[in-house]
Structure 1
């Protein structure tokens, strides 16, 4: 077992999909919130539990939205997720095929599925579309259910095709023996890897996890007590007892590495000249707010003598954007009801604001 440079742990080689993901090179393609299961630890937000499509944070209405988002990110691959993408099989296959046609065969696509819907016919459609890697997440912690038995049988179908097959499950404290059983099952079929995710709280699974006795490791973290330790135990056991590769994907990796690297790739393609790209990949700049933007623009250009090319009127957000240093100078010089701030935003489609500093 070895510690990666990404705050995670591995046995043998990381799956190709993971290698690209940690570098921020994977577009996250959410093809539907529909799913045949209702896992108690599911972290999906309420608005993603519907039949919706997103490319990263961008709502998708047509295939061109996906292509545009991939270009902005300079993505070299995509991770197809849900819900269960096979709940909308034709749509998912169409998107995979479109990405391959646009960016070429080297554009690496991996997909997550429960296994409930992976019939031979469905898998053949995904394979023909160009899928490179498939990751199974069966109802492992409900082994007596009929659905679990169907999933286990369906997983066997994946080995009829020339792609990488593996599993991906959360490290649920108290469920170590079930995860080890799954590892041995995959290893016996000739799978390549098993990914273990550190279990985390979210807005939607919080009550379920608390009711089952799980607790966060601290007030500042969403990670669950005992999950990381179980993941490490599985890796140590797996290294000695199976031939699989393992990757323990930690809560810190997702926030401090994967997201940051993706933001950096996007920021350089969406930043306007007056925006500074921070170390974290956010966009930092100054803004001025006033009830009449046209009046404010005239004031800044004609009276404060700010060059017009330094200013951008953002009517949607009700503000005028500008370089940070310009906002600092204007805040000291202009009195009245004009409000100046330094803001930081994600370079994503939804432009989430992560910081706002009032001036002066």
Structure 2
């Protein structure tokens, strides 16, 4: 485990350097960390259902089809706008300006071009996000209509909203175009269920999706029976994370912050697991899942890398983590692919989708040459069989990271 601990220490250093101008941040100390790990493990052990996606997504009862598609990596999230009409303290990014609908750095001014993109890469699910999609309802509805006209009939489509601008007429219009699921962030509306009640019986699947806010744990636990009565089938709880945009608000709440690829609120994870346990104890049939940062960071990124790599280089060796592997006599190379506007790619690599050119960049993520016979044997075994524990050797650990999606919730 030596190499892994060195890697985790480097993440902590990066996090602290990024937020050095905020000395008020309470970085989790080792003494408290042990207590929180014990508490988390106790909560996980009490859960009947085993966590999904390599133990990164604890849940009870069920998860929505949208979440299943997300975990498989066959999901495209279209940001209808980057403008929002709420001001949630936990929002990780500024959302002040309307921009062209986009996904993964690609702009789609024309909904037909986006439908062709979805078809070309074989996505099974699409979500509309923002910002707030209902700020530009006609735009959202137009993209939904074109997807239904041009894509396979079983394409699963859902929308995220804070619900502020929602009403029954909008729900009816969305349902008429076969929106499968709607996800409300009730944190933006004082945890009101009124808008959700208006969607009941109109949109087939109604989900509440919010960050797991420690101070609101008891309120959410008390509300769960009301959620079920209002028509909510799923409750998705996200890991609250620290960003440059929300740091000034989060530090006022005295949270303990743990380090990962991004800084995370420890109490947020504990609260999510406590809520799941309370629902399990009460025998509620609502599906609840804890959408951990580790799940999102690993599975969403890996899934997108795999889809793009398989489409552009169908004969390449592609790892579980979505990297293209080139393994020769004395070297091993891992590469990743990123799509971009054709005008942004200076090396003239492009693909054509229904008459529209998209550029792509092939980036070398890792290269090791002059491999010894000993290393080759170890690498052969590592590629053939995922180890139960990460390798202690730094070179093998790096290779392990490009080969596999890391399992489990990481220790604090």
- Counterpart of 2:308 (choices 256, 262, 266) is 266
Q: Deviations over 1:10-65 (max 9, x none)?
A: 1101111111110011111111112220111112366x853331133312221233
CA contact 1:55–1:66 (8 Å) conserved in 2:
no
2:246 aligns with 205
SS of residue paired to 2:186: coil
2:83 aligns with 34
CA contact 1:42–1:205 (8 Å) conserved in 2:
yes
2:162 aligns with 114
Cα offset for 1:202?
Answer: 2.9
SS of residue paired to 1:29: strand
- Counterpart of 1:355 (choices 333, 356, 365) is 365
SS of residue paired to 2:289: strand
Unaligned stretches of 5+ residues in structure 1 = 286-323, 330-341
CA contact 2:61–2:288 (8 Å) conserved in 1:
yes
Please tell me whether residue 344 in structure 1 is matched to residue 335 in structure 2. yes
Please tell me whether residue 163 in structure 1 is matched to residue 212 in structure 2. no
Q: TM-score, normalised by structure 2?
A: 0.65
Please tell me whether residue 252 in structure 1 is matched to residue 294 in structure 2. yes
CA distance in 2, matches of 1:269, 1:3: 33
Q: Deviations over 1:318-342 (max 9, x none)?
A: xxxxxx979x99xxxxxxxxxxxx7
- Counterpart of 1:193 (choices 222, 234, 249) is 234
- 1:47-196 counterparts in 2 under 5 A? 49-139=97-187, 143=190, 152-196=193-237
Distance 1:34 1:132, change over 3 A: same
The alignment's C-alpha RMSD in Å is 3.0
Deviates most, 184-193 or 211-220: 211-220
Deviates most, 53-62 or 78-87: 53-62
Cα offset for 1:359?
Answer: 8.4
CA distance in 1, matches of 2:246, 2:234: 27
Cα offset for 1:358?
Answer: 9.5
Distance 1:93 1:259, change over 3 A: same
CA distance in 2, matches of 1:200, 1:49: 22
SS of residue paired to 2:264: coil
Distance 1:279 1:22, change over 3 A: closer
Equivalent pairs counted in the alignment come to 301
Larger radius of gyration: 1
CA distance in 2, matches of 1:211, 1:263: 37
Q: TM-score, normalised by structure 1?
A: 0.74
Point out which structure has higher relative CO (alpha carbons under 8 A, 6+ apart): 2
CA distance in 2, matches of 1:153, 1:229: 28
Distance 1:351 1:89, change over 3 A: farther
CA distance in 1, matches of 2:362, 2:229: 45
CA contact 1:209–1:215 (8 Å) conserved in 2:
no
CA distance in 2, matches of 1:239, 1:136: 22
CA contact 2:163–2:184 (8 Å) conserved in 1:
yes
SS of residue paired to 1:134: strand
Distance 1:343 1:61, change over 3 A: farther
CA distance in 2, matches of 1:212, 1:247: 24
SS of residue paired to 1:195: strand
Distance 1:234 1:110, change over 3 A: same
1:229 aligns with 270
CA distance in 1, matches of 2:146, 2:163: 24
Distance 1:255 1:83, change over 3 A: same
Q: Deviations over 1:193-229 (max 9, x none)?
A: 1111111223422333234323421265532111111
Distance 1:212 1:351, change over 3 A: farther
CA distance in 1, matches of 2:109, 2:325: 29
CA distance in 2, matches of 1:220, 1:351: 23
CA contact 1:173–1:226 (8 Å) conserved in 2:
yes
